[in-house]
Amino acid sequence: MGEAKGFLKYSREDVGHRPFEECVRDYRESVLPLSDDALREQAARCMDCGVPFCHATGCPVQNVIPDVNDLVYRGGWEEACHLLHATNNFPEITGRICPAPCESACTLSINDSPVLIQHIELQIAERGFERGWIRPLPASDRTGTSVAVIGSGPSGLAIAQQLARAGHGVVVFEADERVGGLLRYGIPQFKLEKRILDRRLYQLAAEGIRFETGVEVGADLSVRYLHRTFDAVCLAVGARQPRPLPVPGAERDNVLFALDYLSAQNCRCTGEPIGGAVPADAADKDVVILGGGATGVDCIGTARRQGAKRITQLEIQPRPPATRPASIPWPRWPCLNDDLTAAALGCEQRWNVMTTDLVGKGARVEWVHAREVEWKLTDGRWQMREIPGSDFTLAADLVILALGFLHAVHDGLVRDLGVELDDRGNIRADEYQTSVPWVFAAGDAVSGASWVARAIRAGRETARAVDRWVRS
């Protein structure tokens, strides 16, 4: 490594952010990049550990993190950029929105702060675009085979790029009006500005990938058409069946699923027509967000920027710990609680709370009824118990359900193809090949809702399986 004792010489320097009072006035990203000298010092902290767990077990796409850090320390930014792209199609995206399990697996995190892996990755990718190192790489030879990719989220885009570079003809079908799937419509603008996505899509189009948007495969295009037109089909449709709230009143008009709420605001930010009914705006409203995960926090940030009067977030699970618990030893990724974002945005978070009823007049909710619960470990399993007399009520003009997703949507294409499903409702795939031999599947459609980095890795592996199959 560049400095054998750099981890003793330098401390971790976290990235800065614009002040919250400034951030809530716009939808731009908040990160303030570190200087070149600071990045070099942070890369120098990467130690010559015997087994780089950051790479071996932490990184979903298996970036060669120690080598990348060493190149940054030595000033080899261009080589670092090419090495990063050898395993990750979209490092400028994972460098922004990945939960960074690589840093949890860093050897330094045993008793110190881990290497600043994620921000170094982001800055490598940004230099790659600024200096022209990231450019289209069209295939020199064509195979004559054609593949349809259904869905343009991170998994679908990774499949398409890998197959196009292997010489196959690739068409990506997307039901929405613009390409990007979850990256465009589910991730808020203040976490991933859409110009970042569009910049990468220009590269994919220049590599010969054809995008067909506003096309619902299964309705606008039949399964028979797919089978006759393409040598293989890849399902990258995500897990977009939202988890419902099984309480009275959940069907009322001002109760929205988080993805619908976030999608509408993303459309506003980019000037894209929203379509359908007029979406809810949190301005001057009492907003209650049900669900304490990352999507719920995205809804908090969006509601605050829209000018919500009051925001309350309810979660049935206990509050995550602030530091790594003994039950999740290194190098596993721990889900930790960070109250800073919610508190700074003026949100009250309440944990160990179950929603019991949504009450209102006519088609609109006016009150959320809830009750506190407690969790106890019994015979090795966590059991929930409702606490008598702990009921409370919150005023609500807008209720947002951020309860996660169940599985891929079955109606339409998945049903028409006749692919087998597992016991959770996900598409069953053996080595990325479904029960219908010419149909492959990847990403959240197979695994259930997960991280973007895992979807990219699954997309790359699916492309490898499709390439082998069509060539054989």
pLDDT tens column, 209-219: 999 999 999 99
The boundaries of the domain holding residue 173 are 146-240+406-471
Instruction: With H, G, I as helix, E, B as strand and everything else as coil, classify residue 314.
Output: strand
Is 428 part of a structural domain of the chain?
A: yes
Which residue stretches of 217-293 are H helix?
A: 223-229, 258-270
Distance (Å) of CA 357 to CA 258, 365, 374, 387: 19, 10, 19, 16
Structure-block tokens of residue 252: 């009322």
Calpha distance 338→190 (Å, rounded)? 18
Cα angle 117-121-125, degrees, rounded to a multiple of 5: 175
Is 141 part of a structural domain of the chain?
A: no
Length of the chain: 472
Backbone φ and ψ for 41, nearest 5 degrees, come out as: -65, -40
Calpha distance 384→61 (Å, rounded)? 36
Task: Let me know: does 254 contact 401? Beta carbons within 8 Å.
Answer: no
pLDDT for 340: 59
Is 303 part of a structural domain of the chain?
A: yes
- Determine the residue type at 387: I
- Determine the residue type at 17: H
Distance (Å) of CA 150 to CA 70, 158, 327, 429, 470: 39, 12, 39, 16, 17
Q: What is the mean pLDDT of each run of 10 residues along the chain (472 residues)?
A: 87 93 94 96 93 95 96 97 98 96 95 96 98 97 97 98 98 96 96 97 98 96 96 97 96 95 94 74 97 93 96 95 88 80 83 97 95 93 95 97 96 96 97 97 96 97 98 92
Calpha distance 299→116 (Å, rounded)? 27
Among 77, 101, 130, the domain-final residue is 130
pLDDT for 418: 96
| Cα 392–chain centre separation | 33
Is 135 part of a structural domain of the chain?
A: no
Same domain for 392 and 290 = yes
Same domain for 421 and 358 = no
pLDDT tens column, 270-306: 999 886 555 689 999 999 999 988 999 999 999 999 9
pLDDT for 465: 98
pLDDT for 345: 82
pLDDT for 277: 54
Same domain for 255 and 382 = yes
User: Which has the closest alpha carbon to 444: 408, 416, 404, 410?
Assistant: 408
Calpha distance 235→159 (Å, rounded)? 10
Is 1 part of a structural domain of the chain?
A: no
**177 HSE (CA, 13 A, CB side):** 10
Same domain for 256 and 322 = yes
DSSP percent split of the chain into helix, strand, coil, nearest 5: 35, 20, 45
Among 378, 403, 428, the domain-final residue is 403
The percent of residues above 70 in pLDDT, for the chain, comes to: 98
Same domain for 362 and 454 = no
Same domain for 112 and 26 = yes
Same domain for 200 and 67 = no
Structure-block tokens of residue 129: 């675009």
CB atoms under 10 Å from CB of 377, counted, come to 8
pLDDT for 323: 86
Is 251 part of a structural domain of the chain?
A: yes
Task: Let me know: does 173 contact 149? Beta carbons within 8 Å.
Answer: yes
All residues at 6 or more sequence positions from 254 whose CB lies less than 8 Å from its CB, including other chains: 280, 364, 365, 396, 397, 398, 399
Task: Let me know: does 157 contact 197? Beta carbons within 8 Å.
Answer: no
In angstroms and rounded to an integer, the radius of gyration of the C-alpha atoms of the chain is 23
Structure-block tokens of residue 324: 């790594």
Same domain for 395 and 252 = yes
Calpha distance 373→247 (Å, rounded)? 16
User: Which has the closest alpha carbon to 403: 326, 284, 299?
Assistant: 299
- Backbone conformation region of residue 399, classed left if phi is above 0, alpha if psi is from -120 to 50, else beta: beta
CATH number at residue 29: 1.10.1060.10
Is 137 part of a structural domain of the chain?
A: no
CATH number at residue 298: 3.50.50.60
pLDDT for 278: 58
Cα angle 111-113-117, degrees, rounded to a multiple of 5: 130
Is 139 part of a structural domain of the chain?
A: no
Distance (Å) of CA 280 to CA 1, 127, 290, 365, 447: 53, 39, 16, 13, 31
- Backbone conformation region of residue 404, classed left if phi is above 0, alpha if psi is from -120 to 50, else beta: left
Calpha distance 143→231 (Å, rounded)? 11
Task: Let me know: does 209 contact 89? Beta carbons within 8 Å.
Answer: no
What residues pair up with 32 in beta bridges, in sequence order?
16
Calpha distance 130→38 (Å, rounded)? 19
Same domain for 308 and 451 = no
- Determine the residue type at 364: R
Same domain for 104 and 189 = no
Same domain for 94 and 27 = yes
Same domain for 394 and 451 = no
Among 71, 101, 130, the domain-final residue is 130
**For the chain, how many structural domains are there in total?**
3
The residue written with tokens 């974002």 in the block is 341
